[in-house]
Amino acid sequence: MATTTGSTETPATLHKAYRKSVWLHLGEALLWLLLICIAIIEIAPISWMFSTSLRDPKNSFDLPPDFWPTALHWQNYLTVINSPDIEFMLFFWNSLKIALIVTGAQLLTCSMAGYAFGRLRFFGRDILFGLFLASLMVPATVTLIPSFIIIRSLDLMNTHWALILPSVTSAFGVFLLRQHFKSLPEELLDAAKIDGAGYFRIYWQILLPLTGPALSALGIFTFLASWNNFVGPLLFLRDWDKFTFPIAIATIRGYMGSGNQSEVLAGIMISIFPLLVFFLLAQRWIVQGAAITGMKG
């Protein structure tokens, strides 16, 4: 004789599930509201800069501030680019060249050091890595005078090498890539050793191709730091044709901020536009690379 079984869900169970669903949707809505508020706070200054870069100088600091362009004076951008007093494109190229060299150097040196600290065993490894991490607690301004003395003793003053050589590696980059190398399966190394691969071949052909997210994140952070470096060029460079983009922005601003503020903001918008595009295209790798620092190791 066939028997039928009814639903085991009682009204109390259904009510509890309904309340749980309501709370989940409410929490999701609050999270979205929080993210929207944070996005507005982040976008508002950029929106104001772009809007002000298209105005007349007399309207640069209107109150309340306008976050949308009320005028379209594109001449401000043309004035900055074609200024006879500031070789805008030369400064742009100098910054781009230095940033690309520094980024490439850090990707190579930090990945090699991260591989050594994460996968190789040698005497004093943990102590040396601890010293690397300790250097992260030293403010950059503390190292300015020692860096200046070393650069001057090497006769590198007023050259771009004075900005490149101190930045060819970083403790943060070594730490980031060490964490990534330690998160890779041990079986990869065991299989490579069985096939007769040496240390460098394991690093170059097997492990390095798997570090795309970490390398992308480090490359972005390094490029931004080099691109926005203002103190270094101001300290080490003297000739006009060797200056970088932040110096151009400071020159446009003028003495005591007496320059055309709309043109200053136009120059800033030109400088950050490539970075914004780069961030939008590579944001997935930034998140993945930053998450690596929380993995085991």
Burial tier of 190 (Cβ tally within 10 Å: 0-12, 13-18, 19+): exposed
The DSSP-derived string for 6-43 is -----HHHHHHHHHHHHHHHHHHHHHHHHHHHHHHHHH
Instruction: List pLDDT tens digits, range 38-96.
Output: 988 888 888 888 888 888 777 777 777 777 777 777 888 888 888 767 777 888 899 98
Predicted model pTM: 0.79
**Which residues belong to CATH 1.10.3720.10 in the chain?**
80-292
Tens-place pLDDT, residues 94-117? 998 999 999 999 999 999 999 999
Q: Which CATH architecture has domain 80-292?
A: Orthogonal Bundle (1.10)
